[in-house]
Amino acid sequence: MQYFSGKTVWLTGASSGIGLAMAQQLADAGAHLILTSRRAEVLEQVRQGLAHPERHRVLALDLSQPEQAADQAREALGDQVIDILINNAGVSQRSLILETDFDVYRQLMEIDYFGVVALTKLVLPRMAERRNGHIVTVSSVAGKVGTKLRSGYNGAKFAVIGFMDSLRAEMAEHDLVVTSILPGFINTAIAHNSLAGDGSALGKEDPDNAGGISAEECARRSLEAIAAQKAEVIVGSGLSKLAPLLQRISPAFVRRMVAKR
């Protein structure tokens, strides 16, 4: 994809799943990557496995503490120009509201919403000054349709889509591109890493995600949408791809459907 060739792309959540697949495909496309997740040693392994590893760098951050992460990134990046920011890092949830600790909701918002806001605000001033840049956030179909067991995840993803819509409207006068990616069911370890009601990792597979498209296919479709400078795109198959459309056409039907699942 020529769009990414020679550009500096800051990619969060780069160590696994969709992020890892994006990193591999972006490197193959000639991008210069800044790879972010929590663990530097894992990111270094990722970097070494990419095409032209010397072009890429590792920036480990803990986005559950977004203000601190933004401060660390500001110091590490200095005056480096970021052409494209891809906010991909995130954590999901699998627990009933009645059984979910309040701290779990806060953690979901810190990572999935405030982490996006913090890093976006970090790169935005220079992009606006240059009148050149692209902000991308990997949200979710869960940001359009609320379901059982994902109340905190739904809330954070709804919030981030709203933030991105406002960002797009405000950045139009600065000629910046803003893209929201909404994956449906993707076959990754997201369910294993999801938060249970007490904040521990769920540690087991979700049948919905296990039956979804591959991370590689999701990354390919997402990067094609980014290269085409689309505002918003749903990536997935089956019911997870159709759900936002059904929500618009017949919200009462969707409410009944999700209550029965």
DSSP assignments along 80-122, one per residue? ---SEEEE-----B---GGG--HHHHHHHHIIIIIHHHHHHHH
Containing domain of residue 106, as a range?
2-260
- Give the count of domains, the chain: 1
- pLDDT at position 211: 66
Our CA dihedral for 184, 185, 186, 190, rounded to 10 degrees, sits at 100
- pLDDT at position 19: 97
SS3 76: helix
- pLDDT at position 208: 60
Phi, psi for residue 189 in degrees, rounded to 5: -90, 20
> Is 70 exceeded by the pLDDT of residue 62?
yes
SS3 254: helix
Copy the structure tokens of residue 197.
Answer: 């009601």
**CATH value at residue 247:** 3.40.50.720
Say whether 153 is catalytic.
yes
> Per-residue pLDDT averaged across 65-70, rounded?
98
Q: Is the dihedral of CA 39, 42, 45, 51 positive or negative?
A: negative
From 3, 105, 113, 153, the catalytic residue: 153
Q: What is the pTM of this model?
A: 0.94
| Nearest residue to 11 (alpha-carbon basis) of 59, 49, 44 | 59
* 136-186 tens-digit pLDDT: 999 999 999 999 999 999 999 999 999 999 999 999 999 999 999 999 989
> Per-residue pLDDT averaged across 177-197, rounded?
87
> Is 80 exceeded by the pLDDT of residue 125?
yes
Burial class (CB in 10 A: 0-12, 13-18, 19+), 146: middle
